[in-house]
Amino acid sequence: MIHCLHGAVGSFRAWETLSQDLNESVNALDLWHFFDHSTPTLVESGRVISEGSEFGDVILGYSMGGRLALHALIAAPEKWRAAIIVSAHPGLMSGQEERKKKDREWASLSRGNWTSFLDQWNRQDLFLSSPEDLHQADIKDQKIISKSFLHWSLGNQRDLRSELPQITCPVLWITGSHDPKFTALAEEATSLLPSSEHLIIPGSGHRVPWQRPTEFSASVQTFLKCNDSF
């Protein structure tokens, strides 16, 4: 089983193409359900994801989902056969308060006109080189997404660098060639992981899985075939 975690303002439906391409079962998590009855922290959410997995499962997370995946891996490193982290941040070393302020602004915007919010979200410099995103959340999740900007904010996440060596399973960290910031972060993160490789997919930006779906699926399949024993 491979558990797939979508990004901020994303949807579990984003993994439909990958699910069709992979040979093993895919559990595309709807992360907004974590807010149905409570407001979990990143740490609590990582623990819940780990508790919902079986020994020998695989976890795949993109961006915000990648940060949640790292928390799940740290919560129970012995459970996971392998991990794929895509365009994710291991945590800020400084500037947390500035980031919290920015995410409070996003939280406020997301409670307003939904179309206007999505337009502003997709116009960020981070996404300019990878504008394709056909699997964003529905307006029904608007209030929950607003909460996620506060409780799953990068500003509220501790720096995970000192904890990355605890993740002993093989890790494939993927970034796009047009995403220099997260490519540099991936280089740093993989240098701290005991068993990892960093793959840069040419011609893609931050949204690698949907901008280069064929190359992304093939890379994931190759990695899983190389790590099919536990």
Report the distance separating Cα 63 and Cα 17, nearest Å: 18
Q: Provide the pLDDT for residue 24.
A: 77
Report the distance separating Cα 174 and Cα 212, nearest Å: 12
Calculate Rg over the CA atoms of the chain. 16
- What is the value of pTM for the model shown? 0.95
| pLDDT tens-digit readout, 155-166 | 999 999 999 999
| pLDDT tens-digit readout, 46-78 | 999 999 999 999 999 999 999 999 999 999 999
Instruction: Give Dmax (Cα) for the chain.
Output: 48
In this prediction, residue 43 has a pLDDT band, given cuts at 50, 70 and 90, of very high
| pLDDT tens-digit readout, 154-200 | 999 999 999 999 999 999 999 999 999 999 999 999 999 999 999 99
For residue 72, give the H/E element and its range: helix 64-75
Q: Which fold has domain 2-226?
A: Rossmann fold (3.40.50)
